[in-house]
Amino acid sequence: MSRCHFLSRQERVLLQTPMSSHQVLICRNYKGDVDMSEIDHFFTLLMQQEEEGLVCPVMSHGNVHFLWIKHSNLYLVATTNKNSNASLVYAFLYKLVEVFTEYFKELEEESIQDNFVVVYELLDELMDFGFPQTTDSKILQEYITQKGNKLEVAKTKVPTTVTNAVSWRSEGIKYKKNEVFIDVIESINVLVNANGSVMSSDIVGSIKLKTMLSGMPELRLGLNDRMLFALTGRKNQTILHCLSDELMKRISPTNVKPLIWIESVIEKFSHSRVEIMVKAKGQFKKQSVANNVEIRVPVPSDADSPKFKTSTGHAKYVPEKNLVVWSIKSFPGGKEFLMRAHFGLPSVENHELEGRPPITVKFEIPYFTVSGIQVRYMKIIEKSGYQALPWVRYITQSGDYQLRTNS
Amino acid sequence: MPYFGSEEMVKELKRALSNPNVQADRLRYKNYITKVIRYMTQGLDVSALFMDMVKASATVDIAQKKLVYLYMCTYASDKPDLALLAINTLRKDCADPNPMVRGLALRNMCNFRMPGMTEYIEQPIVAGLRDKASYVRRVAVLGCAKMHSLQPNTDIDGTIVNELYALLRDPDPVVVVNCLRALEEILKDEGGVVINKPIAHHLLNRMKDLDSWAQSEVLTFLLRYRPRSDDELFDILSLLDSFLQSAHAHVAVATLRLFLQLASAHPAVQADALLCTSAPLLATCGAASRELRFAGLCHVQQVMRSQPGLFGTHYKRFFCGYSEPTYIKFRKMEILVELVNDENVALVLEELRSYCTDVSPELAQAAIAAIGRIAQTYSEKCLDILTGLLALKQDHITSAVIQMFRDLVWFCPQSTAAVCQTVEACVDSPQDSEQALLWLLGEHGDQISSAPYVMEGYIDGLKTELSSAVKMELLTASVKMFLCRPAETQDMLGRLLHYCIEEESDVCVRDRALLCYRLLQRGVEETRKVVTGPKSDPSMSVLTGRQEEPISQWASTFNTLGPLSGCDLCPQTAVISAADQPSSSAEKELLPESTDVTLSSPDDTEEEISLSLGPPLSHETFEKMWLDLEILQRQTMGFPRPRTALDTLQAALQLVKIQTLAFTPGATVPWKAYIYTRSTGTLILAELLQGDQHAPGIDESLVVSVKQQPVNQHAIRGFVSILKGVLQTLNVDSS
């Protein structure tokens, strides 16, 4: 990657001709082998592709390739004239977003303009001459702070991390209480067809660690299912995708029911009203409880005067997203709840075609895993030989959970 | 963008920065500096403040230093003379006790992109390479590469290269990887960094210490290493085994590529690696970020070129989500089409059916095209769906369906009857698909009872028809229809021909009409012979359906931009110089040894030369060279040109590495052909001529004229004898 741009684009939609203006917010030229004006071609290409309806995350102009991602109203564009590894570039761009979000809470045009000094500093440390350098935000935060205008002469001390042999962890970390928090998280992806048949359902499992361990420990994690991961004192958070065959086999679509089953009837009477009936059923064991359940039901964009009736929780109309959000704080397994909604429709029909967005569901079930994965042991070995406490937590949550509707 | 009053602003800033009161107040001073950088970011020219900014670099505040350095880097190339003044400050900082300051100064000094910088930065870089802080070493190592890129054409400094090779053993993993990156840049012309056995083993052992970016890059560098024995190969593979399942998609894919390349002689190992990676690849296809998901899908597509069955059971993962962007949906549909088998066909079709009514017409049409492709194997089920779609009476859907019908009839003749029955119902076809409909009507008019009446509608509306392609199709279709149903068609065909010949302004249409007219004048039988060809060609579907390709076909572009942008881009530099020896001159690349053939000529067994194709010559280059060069040898072959078809001749020549550039059609006199080839450093151009008017005596014999650059008589003799051999063989075959 030879350059990285932050661009913003506000779309000014005039009534007759959609116009768009763009502006390069910040640009860091790492290698100097791509001409600065090349970025102008990016927007020409992008607009051209948008018109044709065939946008692609890789675009080429001559020898220069643009790899871009969009984050809220920002475009992050990497330009390169090499045939580089695309997944790495995208992963790096997302890493940038992650780092900046940790620094500024939200990454958007304003936060970049307000913090451009830190942005420059970070871009300098994250990459040099087109090669990723220090990208761990925990380490970056040790020596690049946001309180830039505070003058501290003493602050010029170097963090040991950047001069260490171990780049991902500072030396001499000390905790009073040595603990490891292990989160075993399973995200459920479900796709249900309009006629109620389950098209696909699978689980993406991940294990997240939050370690509060002194020194340079070596961690060994033992799981059932003959899966074993050895981690050597790595980052505070290590995410392992465990999508091994053993897991996949158990979670074949035939025997995994969607944990929250939705039946919906959406009746649209043109020019007068829409009536929605949604039935939700918890298809998991009675002892478990799903928390913060949110069922999002799409409604036509021209609907008005909402009326709701729910057997539990409460429903809310979100007009800017054309949704009814039905939230239920706690949803015990095996229970069934009902929501009815009634909307008015204008007598003058909207001629624009609308897509048929699916119903989506969000939930979280603590102390429960679908796959039955279990942490058998967690060994922590450190020179000083301290005892550390491992805490394990199991959570099953919704991933991409979609149920298609008829209307 | 020049701001109004920008000059005033710069003046004001200059005043403020040089004000001793401001300079004394650190906070105020820094605020002004921040302001300068802000204007610079906004595109304002603040280069006039260079001197004041250089002064501001003498501070203990690192953040302020960084800002000033950034400013200097931006304007150094515009103000090289002033930048030299800053160098002293920077060099002083390079000796600062604080390693952060040292690293910072060194990095920024190397970022000055201006001529003559090398002499100032060389010494600090060399010192930096031996710095005890790894932060400084990291910067210094990349500094070497930057220094080289400042003066790309100078000789490579051997001591620095050696030092960098030595630093590959550095305890800091980032320094190690930066060394590889820097060496790669510096030794670009020699084929990049050399990975020999000790280096490869060292890197393999350090793999687990590296961060994911570095892992992915090291894996790419390791592509050029060739293990000496199978034992070593398997040791390496087992070391890398765990990386196949890496949580980072780019590492897993890079490992897979290395596996595929290293184990190119062990197909079982390759298959195993693909199986192992299928889980991470599938996980990438469901990644949260859409770009990574896209990259994952593209790689899945590549893998499927060799192992179409690998993802068969996971077909449901390629069902489209509602909010996914079109480019992902398109890829997923392409994959679904490839994954269809007897068990899942019903579900896949049901899924694709639901996309056909999507709001986006492009997506709907792509879904219909996908069903059409599946129809080539499962025609019955698909026909039901396609027919059902017609009932929706949406123009873009109907149009796509009719186009699919045409392809279907062409590829699978058994579905003709069903299609004809359906076409009957859709009389008013929307634009874009008129040609397809007319083709169907003309080709199968005997099975579509209403065909003449539909066609009559088109003929009556001819005056308003704009597209000449439709008109031409209409002409052909009407003639075909006339042949099978003359009574109903005769009258309107007459009107059509009359209109097209008398009133039509488009020459092509008029010519086509005249052709049809004259053809009909020759009689019906004659016309039938010309107009009616085969009604379908099932063998064509073999061409459109993919066959399993060997892994080596795509392994070289795996994990690059290639699979994403759909076309094969220039190969990564790492691949070009895949050879162990770094010396690959341009000359050698032009003459790839692997494609050489050695032929012993039948006449003269002493002369053995090898010909090779090399990169293709364009017509223009050939012409220019042909005109510039002198004829070195002219020889009469003593026999006429082979009577085989011309493409046979071309293929035969290709076989012995002689490329045919152009030739005149078979029956013309004089007959000519231009050919060329390469041999041990020379380019040979030749002309074959038969029936030259100026030399009537040798009418029946073939004359070869050879030109060459540079001259090499030995090569010419060899070339002529090879050519003679081929032509003689062909003559024997054809007689």
Q: How many CB atoms lie within 10 A of CB B395?
A: 15
A198 touches chain B (CB under 8 A): no
B24 touches chain A (CB under 8 A): no
**Interface with B, mutate which of A31, A88, A107, A161 (most B CBs under 10 A):** A88
Interface of B with A in 194-213 (CB under 8 A): 208-209, 211-213
- A14-141 sits in which CATH class? alpha beta
Give chain A's end-to-end CA distance (angstroms, integer).
46
Instruction: Retrieve residue A331's tokens.
Output: 């949803």
B170 touches chain A (CB under 8 A): no
In tens, the pLDDT along B175-226 reads 999 999 899 888 888 888 888 888 999 999 888 888 888 899 899 889 888 8
Asked if residues B395 and B361 have their Cβ atoms less than 8 Å apart, the reply is no
Q: How many CB atoms lie within 10 A of CB B166?
A: 11
User: Over 50: is that where the pLDDT of A7 sits?
Assistant: no
Of the listed ranges A33-47, A377-391, B10-24, the least confidently predicted one is A33-47
B372 touches chain A (CB under 8 A): no
Instruction: Retrieve residue A223's tokens.
Output: 């799981």
Whole-number pLDDT of residue A363? 94
Phi/psi region, residue A229 (left: phi>0; alpha: psi -120 to 50; beta: rest), is beta
In tens, the pLDDT along B415-429 reads 788 888 777 776 666
SS3 B728: helix
For residue B142, how far is the Cα from the chain centroid? 30
In tens, the pLDDT along B669-711 reads 777 888 888 877 778 888 888 776 555 555 567 788 888 877 7
Of the listed ranges A32-41, B157-166, B306-315, the least confidently predicted one is A32-41
B247 touches chain A (CB under 8 A): yes
Whole-number pLDDT of residue B541? 53
Cross-chain Cβ contact B279/A56 below 8 Å: no
Looking at the partner chain, which of B172, B282, B321 has a beta carbon nearest the beta carbon of A167? B172
Tokens 């005056």 identify what position? B463
User: Over 90: is that where the pLDDT of A340 sits?
Assistant: yes
β partners of residue A66 = A59, A79
- Residue A126's closest chain B neighbor by CA? B213
Contacts of A313 (CB under 8 A, 6+ apart): A293, A326, A327, A328, A329, A337, A339
What gap in Å lies between CA B266 and CA A53, rounded to an integer? 44
Bridge pairing between strands A389-403 and A179-192 = parallel
Residue A376 CA: distances (Å) to CA of A155, A182, A222, A229, A364? 44, 12, 5, 12, 23
The alpha-carbon gap from A238 to the nearest alpha carbon of chain B, in Å, equals: 9
The alpha-carbon gap from B133 to the nearest alpha carbon of chain A, in Å, equals: 5
Mean pLDDT of B78-99: 82
Asked if residues B105 and B69 have their Cβ atoms less than 8 Å apart, the reply is yes
Mean pLDDT of A51-79: 83
**Interface with A, mutate which of B30, B291, B362 (most A CBs under 10 A):** B291
In tens, the pLDDT along A162-174 reads 555 455 566 677 8
Cross-chain Cβ contact B135/A162 below 8 Å: yes
| Confidence band, pLDDT 50/70/90 cuts, at residue A338 | very high
Asked if residues A174 and A217 have their Cβ atoms less than 8 Å apart, the reply is no
| Confidence band, pLDDT 50/70/90 cuts, at residue A12 | very low
What gap in Å lies between CA B451 and CA B455, rounded to an integer? 6
Cross-chain Cβ contact A120/B360 below 8 Å: no
Asked if residues A260 and A222 have their Cβ atoms less than 8 Å apart, the reply is no
Asked if residues A364 and A330 have their Cβ atoms less than 8 Å apart, the reply is no
Whole-number pLDDT of residue B734? 60
Q: How many percent of chain B have pLDDT more than 70?
A: 88
- Residue A122's closest chain B neighbor by CA? B66
Hey, which of A191-205, A373-387, B252-266 has the most confident mean pLDDT?
B252-266
B359 touches chain A (CB under 8 A): yes
Instruction: Retrieve residue A357's tokens.
Output: 């967005």
Sign of CA dihedral B222, B279, B210, A86: positive
Tokens 């041990």 identify what position? B680
What gap in Å lies between CA B424 and CA A258, rounded to an integer? 45
What gap in Å lies between CA A161 and CA A172, rounded to an integer? 10
User: Over 80: is that where the pLDDT of B337 sits?
Assistant: yes
B253 touches chain A (CB under 8 A): yes
Chain A CB contacts of B321 below 8 Å: 191, 400, 402
Polymer length of chain A: 407
Interface of A with B in 125-154 (CB under 8 A): 128-129, 131-136, 143, 148-149, 151, 153
In tens, the pLDDT along A122-154 reads 888 888 888 888 887 777 877 777 654 333 444
Cross-chain Cβ contact B211/A135 below 8 Å: yes
How many Å is the maximal CA-CA distance in chain B? 106
The alpha-carbon gap from A364 to the nearest alpha carbon of chain B, in Å, equals: 18
Asked if residues A337 and A279 have their Cβ atoms less than 8 Å apart, the reply is yes
What gap in Å lies between CA B172 and CA B161, rounded to an integer? 19
Q: How many CB atoms lie within 10 A of CB A94?
A: 18
What gap in Å lies between CA A68 and CA A89, rounded to an integer? 9
Go through B327-362 and write b for each residue having 16 or more CB atoms within 10 A of its CB, e for each that does not: bbbbbbbbbbbbbbeeebbebbbebbbbbbbbebbe
- Residue A205's closest chain B neighbor by CA? B283
Mean pLDDT of A311-338: 91
- Delimit the domains of chain A by residue range: 14-141, 179-256+370-402, 260-367
Q: Tell me yes or no: is domain A260-367 CATH 3.30.460.10.
A: no
B173 touches chain A (CB under 8 A): yes
State the amino acid at position B446 in one-letter form.
Answer: D
| Confidence band, pLDDT 50/70/90 cuts, at residue A342 | very high
User: Over 60: is that where the pLDDT of B376 sits?
Assistant: yes
Instruction: Retrieve residue A252's tokens.
Output: 């074949």
Backbone angles phi, psi at B8, to 5 degrees: -60, -45
Mean pLDDT of A43-55: 81
Cross-chain Cβ contact B326/A358 below 8 Å: no
* Helical packing angle, B173-186 and B134-150, nearest 10°: 10
Cross-chain Cβ contact B149/A357 below 8 Å: no
A235 touches chain B (CB under 8 A): no
What gap in Å lies between CA B71 and CA A120, rounded to an integer? 11
| Confidence band, pLDDT 50/70/90 cuts, at residue A234 | very low
Of the listed ranges A53-67, B253-267, B589-603, the least confidently predicted one is B589-603
Polymer length of chain B: 735
What gap in Å lies between CA A117 and CA A122, rounded to an integer? 9
Give chain B's end-to-end CA distance (angstroms, integer).
77
Task: Decide if A179-256+370-402 and A260-367 have a common fold.
Answer: yes
B718 touches chain A (CB under 8 A): no
Cross-chain Cβ contact A116/B41 below 8 Å: yes
What gap in Å lies between CA B325 and CA A354, rounded to an integer? 16
Count interface pairs A-B at CB distance under 8 A. Answer: 223
β partners of residue A59 = A66
A265 touches chain B (CB under 8 A): no
| Helix, strand, coil in percent for chain A, rounding step 5 | 20, 45, 35
CATH topology classification for A179-256+370-402: Immunoglobulin-like (2.60.40)
Least Cα distance to B321 among B278, B363, B349 occurs for: B363
For residue B454, how far is the Cα from the chain centroid? 45
User: Over 80: is that where the pLDDT of A82 sits?
Assistant: no
Cross-chain Cβ contact A353/B283 below 8 Å: no
The alpha-carbon gap from A329 to the nearest alpha carbon of chain B, in Å, equals: 26
State the amino acid at position B666 in one-letter form.
Answer: G
Q: How many CB atoms lie within 10 A of CB B510?
A: 17
In tens, the pLDDT along A250-296 reads 333 344 678 899 999 888 887 888 899 999 999 888 888 999 999 99
Looking at the partner chain, which of B327, B354, B358 has a beta carbon nearest the beta carbon of A56? B327
What gap in Å lies between CA B152 and CA B361, rounded to an integer? 51
- Residue A116's closest chain B neighbor by CA? B38
Asked if residues B221 and B203 have their Cβ atoms less than 8 Å apart, the reply is yes
Helical H runs in B522-618?
A: 524-531, 540-544, 552-555, 562-565, 573-576, 586-590
Chain B CB contacts of A99 below 8 Å: none
Whole-number pLDDT of residue A256? 65
What gap in Å lies between CA B227 and CA B174, rounded to an integer? 25
Interface of B with A in 571-600 (CB under 8 A): 571-573
Average pLDDT value for chain B: 79
CB burial class (10 A; 0-12, 13-18, 19+) of residue B91? Answer: middle
Average pLDDT value for chain A: 75
* Helical packing angle, B118-129 and B158-167, nearest 10°: 30
| Helix, strand, coil in percent for chain B, rounding step 5 | 65, 5, 30
| Confidence band, pLDDT 50/70/90 cuts, at residue A59 | confident
Least Cα distance to B314 among A371, A199, A401, A240 occurs for: A199
Cross-chain Cβ contact B283/A241 below 8 Å: yes
Please state the three-class secondary structure of A235-274 as a single string. CCCCCEECCCHHHHHHCCCCCCCCCEEEEEEEEEECCCEE
Chain B CB contacts of A133 below 8 Å: 138, 174
Least Cα distance to B207 among B166, B232, B237, B162 occurs for: B237
| Confidence band, pLDDT 50/70/90 cuts, at residue B598 | very low
**Higher confidence at residue B329 or residue B713?**
B329
The alpha-carbon gap from A243 to the nearest alpha carbon of chain B, in Å, equals: 6
- Residue B171's closest chain A neighbor by CA? A165
